[in-house]
Amino acid sequence: MERTPKERLYWLLKLYENKEIEAETFCDEFHLTYNHDLDEELTETERVLFREIATVAARFSPFEEDHQKYPGLYFTTEDVERVVMKKALIDILLDPYSTEAEKDDAAIDLGEHFEDEETIAVLLKVSNQDDIGEMVAASCGESLAYIWLRKLEINYDQLLLLKEAALHEALSLIKAHRYDWFAEYERRLFCRREFENSDAQKGRQEG
């Protein structure tokens, strides 16, 4: 069966997830396909995740002496498994055919194991989808709060984008663990509402 380069990347990921190929073979084939053969349109999420996997694949070494001689230069099998797992979890979360339970588990696992900007962006996106279930939205909000708490850094602009179940779960955790963050959120929310009310009143006067 002839596969396009993009199809081949997904095929390689599936083989590796199912433990049908070793990390070295996966990395060699993924690196070659992504860097030399791929000429198809990718979604923004695919572009970011495939590039991340390809970076790890290009600098993978199965040899312990490489890691001892050049610490931090080469990636390990654990690094490969980590980026492949992230891609798999995000795929589940974005797949319209995944069940609510599968999406919920994926949202929780992403919050437990990852804290990069792409993970945060996907959790935000899914939490605000109109057709997403309340359980999944809540888990997305919970995972975002766990990420911020773990990093000891919160993004108020992102927090203000959350709504309903996602916002409720995020604020519950934040209020319990960092009340100063919660107080600052309330202050910013109040200022935003005051600005919106002032803007609306000005519009009515001009009209």
Mean pLDDT of 90-100: 94
Query: Cα separation of 123 and 155, whole Å?
Result: 14
Question: SS3 of 71, please?
Answer: coil
d(CA 181, CA 175): 7
Is 195's pLDDT higher than 70?
Answer: yes
Please check whether residue 57 is in contact with residue 26, taking contact to mean a CB–CB distance below 8 angstroms: yes
* Predicted confidence (pLDDT) per residue in 9-42, tens digit: 999 999 999 999 999 999 999 999 999 999 989 9
Q: List 60's β-bridge partners, or say none.
A: 75
Q: What percent of the chain has pLDDT over 70?
A: 95
Query: What's the average model confidence in pLDDT over 57-63?
Result: 96
Residue matched to tokens 């309330």: 186
Collapse the DSSP code of 125 into the 3-class scheme (helix H, G, I; strand E, B; otherwise coil) and give the result: helix
- Give the residue numbers spanning the domain of 132: 5-206
Per the structure block, which two tokens stand in for 114?
Answer: 């990852």
- Average pLDDT score over the chain: 93
Mean pLDDT, range 184-197, rounded to an integer: 87
CA separation, residue 18 to residues 54, 77, 129, 153 (Å)? 19, 15, 30, 36
Q: What is the pLDDT of residues 100-132, one digit of tens each?
A: 999 999 999 999 999 999 999 999 999 999 999
Q: What is the mean pLDDT of residues 160-189?
A: 96
Of residues 155, 187, 188, 159, the one with CA closest to residue 171: 159
For residue 1, what pLDDT is reported?
67
Rounded to 5°, angle at Cα 177 from 172 and 183: 70
Count of structural domains within the chain: 1
The Cα–Cα gap between 156 and 159 comes to 5
Chain-centroid distance of CA 175 in Å reads 24
Q: Can you name the residues that pair with 75 across neighbouring β-strands?
A: 60
Say how many C-beta atoms besides its own lie within 10 A of residue 72's C-beta: 6
> Collapsing DSSP states into helix, strand and coil, what is residue 152?
coil
- Is this model's pTM higher than 0.85 or not? yes
